[in-house]
Structure 1
Amino acid sequence: MAALISKLKKRYYVYISVLILALFGTTFVPMQREMNRQVVENYKLLAESKRQVVAELISGFTANARSLSSRTAIRDFILDYSRGIIGWEELQTATYPKYQDGVDIIENMVLAVRYVGDRPLVVYSNGVIDYDSYMRPFWGSTDVGYRFVVDGNDMRMVVYSPVLYRNALIAHDLIVVDISKQMRELAQDGFLVSVVESGSDMLHDIEPEHIYERHMIEGQAYVCVAKPISDTYTVLVCKSAGEVFASVSRVSLFSIAGFAIGLLIIFFVLHSTLARLANSTIRELGNSRDIYKKYANYDLLTGAYTRVFFENWVKGLQQSAQDGKLVVVMIDVDEFKQINDTCGHETGDHVLQYIVAALKGTLREKDFVIRFGGDEFIVVLDGIDVEKAHKIFDRVSHRLCESNPFPFAITISYGVSQVGSAQEVYEAIKQADRAMYQQKRDKKL
């Protein structure tokens, strides 16, 4: 009898083991693999949205610096000084009020300084700052440049803009802005977000755009991805692997607890519970992915599609090898810099929103609008030719004029180009861009 009981026990243990292995192989392993894949995909989208935030900071503050450097009245004072018409003190007196108008619209400004020669002409700062140390890396450059500087617990962006006259350098503008708040917002929910130089030791074993699911930092595993924003700087986005895969880990722990029960009835209960839990987690991850896609695909200011969406659309069009009748339209807002300088960036933002709303209200449902950068937009028109595209944009221009809520005129310049094939989209954009700038030049004649 004892031998029979022992034999039955062995068979029972074998049977339970087979059930456990079957559950692992048929249910848990595929579900865990799918959940891991969706977690990684969501992480990529979120990292891209953080890279876009940093890129927009760079674009905004370099635009501020260019605005300061392009003010003709201030430049003319410098030319008068260099010709001996006015003295240094008179140059300072004439420059201060006009320079301050440009400085006042810069958010989180720590320092703004204009150099003429090697002498600071005007300085605006929130304290005692060694501004020469900020200026030194850019000295003598005729190109706009920027650097990121860590100062204690603060993160600052230093932007350099040359003042040119007939391609000759006559002065330098330097602004320093505190971006600590924006970086802290990017680092919420346990993220480590750093803007590092592309040759930094932090990136020596990290390839751009590759997801590292177990990258070791100070003995702890992190999920990391490096997102380049220029040849010089890269945004490194990391988060504890335990936190990233927490939902998957919860499912794993639950399953292990269920396996310990070791009974056939529990096997079926566990199978059902795991299926519901995994499906719920997958749905949650799917919902999160939709949210992250919204950040990556839609411009938060205007509601237009982003450049990321457009590039993915072009890739899909090229891979499908299906050529249709497409027209691309390149759009630029006339005198947008003057609107920003005169009325402020908030009004400029409202103007962009108004233009996108006018475009969407005029275009067909199958057409779409992309914010290509700053005040430039691309419109893709499906199933029409260039002549009809011009008629559509005549209506857009009329709508902008007829419904204009602003106390100044809102007009756009645009260029239209037919897309010959899916492989020629970017060439068509170049042609549309040239046509747009030709229209701008014609308006000034």
Structure 2
Amino acid sequence: MDQETLYKLVIVVLIIGILLLLYYYQKRLCELKLHNGQLELLSQYDDLTQIYNRRYFLEIVQYHFTKMYHHKPSAIMMIDIDHFKQINDTHGHILGDDVLQYVVKLISEHLRESDIFARYGGDEFIVFFPAISQKDIYNIALRIQSKLFEDSSYASPVTLSIGICLFSTSLALQNVIEYADNALYVAKSKGRNRIEFYPS
């Protein structure tokens, strides 16, 4: 083999090597992007219900509080499934999980595109309603409760207690959540399956 042929062969081998390295790099990059995307989803969404989790809800709603909606009437709604522990204890966690998914689906169907919905913990959910009136948010809550009562196919009726804090001043997010939670407590203490506003 003469020197020129050997030189060409070396060049070809180098080019093939570079192409293989580029292919491997591109493949690894795609795998890393996919993995990072999956991690991001896990950090943002509740695994069971596939809606936002508490941490991500607080993060994005805090942004809205500081940037957009503090000058307009908005609201936080807290929702609790009545007697959920009893459902779990009596019928098991599989049915309990099914009830959670069913309630989430039903609530989601009645929310606006701009509303931000999350699982706050256990059987408790939270919704941020930007730019909404008391009448409109009450009607949304009422429709959710009514539809749940009409559609429930479970042996025992599934009902919701709902607490709402409507605000039009620049309040801290944590305060508004606390006020909505207080309204939820009032709804539960008055017999559950109710809608209460803060202040009541």
Which residue of the other structure, out of 137, 145, 152, is the alignment partner of 1:397? 145
The corresponding residue for 1:309 is 56
Cα distance change on mapping 1:273 and 1:397 into 2, 3 Å: same
| Contact 2:57–2:117 under 8 Å retained in 1 | no
Provide structure 2 residue ranges, at least 5 long, that are not aligned to the other structure.
1-9, 193-200
Structure 1 CA distance for aligned equivalents of residues 159 and 126 of structure 2? 16
Q: How does 1:216-365 map to 2 (within 5 A)?
A: 266=14, 270=18, 274-317=21-64, 321-324=66-69, 325=72, 326-365=74-113
Cα distance change on mapping 1:315 and 1:281 into 2, 3 Å: farther
Structure 2 CA distance for aligned equivalents of residues 437 and 371 of structure 1? 17
**Offset, 1:413:** 0.6
**Offset, 1:283:** 2.2
Structure 1 CA distance for aligned equivalents of residues 77 and 64 of structure 2? 17
Structure 2 CA distance for aligned equivalents of residues 268 and 383 of structure 1? 60
The corresponding residue for 1:146 is none
| Contact 2:164–2:183 under 8 Å retained in 1 | yes
Structure 2 CA distance for aligned equivalents of residues 443 and 281 of structure 1? 57
Structure 2 CA distance for aligned equivalents of residues 316 and 285 of structure 1? 28
Provide structure 1 residue ranges, at least 5 long, that are not aligned to the other structure.
1-260
Cα deviation code 1:334-377 (max 9, x no counterpart): 11122222222222222111110110111123323211111111
Cα distance change on mapping 1:385 and 1:276 into 2, 3 Å: farther
Max radius of gyration: which structure? 1
Structure 1 CA distance for aligned equivalents of residues 191 and 108 of structure 2? 25
Aligned residues: 179
* One-letter amino acid of the structure 2 residue matched with residue 384 of structure 1: I
Cα distance change on mapping 1:382 and 1:278 into 2, 3 Å: farther
**Offset, 1:268:** 10
Equivalent residue of 1:377, what SS? strand
Equivalent residue of 1:416, what SS? strand
**Offset, 1:317:** 3.6
Percent of aligned pairs with the same amino acid: 32
The structure showing larger relative contact order (alpha-carbon pairs under 8 Å, at least 6 residues apart) is: 2
TM-score normalised by length of structure 1: 0.37
Structure 2 CA distance for aligned equivalents of residues 349 and 441 of structure 1? 25
| Contact 1:328–1:417 under 8 Å retained in 2 | yes
Cα distance change on mapping 1:269 and 1:337 into 2, 3 Å: closer
User: Are 1:368 and 2:116 counterparts?
Assistant: yes
* One-letter amino acid of the structure 2 residue matched with residue 287 of structure 1: L
Cα distance change on mapping 1:267 and 1:316 into 2, 3 Å: farther
The corresponding residue for 2:198 is none
Cα distance change on mapping 1:312 and 1:399 into 2, 3 Å: same
Structure with the larger strand share = 1
Structure 2 CA distance for aligned equivalents of residues 278 and 422 of structure 1? 49
Cα distance change on mapping 1:441 and 1:315 into 2, 3 Å: closer
Equivalent residue of 1:365, what SS? coil
| Contact 1:340–1:348 under 8 Å retained in 2 | yes
Cα distance change on mapping 1:268 and 1:347 into 2, 3 Å: closer
| Contact 1:323–1:422 under 8 Å retained in 2 | no
Structure 2 CA distance for aligned equivalents of residues 273 and 432 of structure 1? 59
* One-letter amino acid of the structure 2 residue matched with residue 307 of structure 1: R
**Offset, 1:331:** 0.7
Cα distance change on mapping 1:267 and 1:418 into 2, 3 Å: farther
User: Are 1:412 and 2:160 counterparts?
Assistant: yes
Equivalent residue of 2:185, what SS? helix
| Contact 2:61–2:128 under 8 Å retained in 1 | no
Equivalent residue of 1:443, what SS? coil
Cα distance change on mapping 1:284 and 1:323 into 2, 3 Å: same
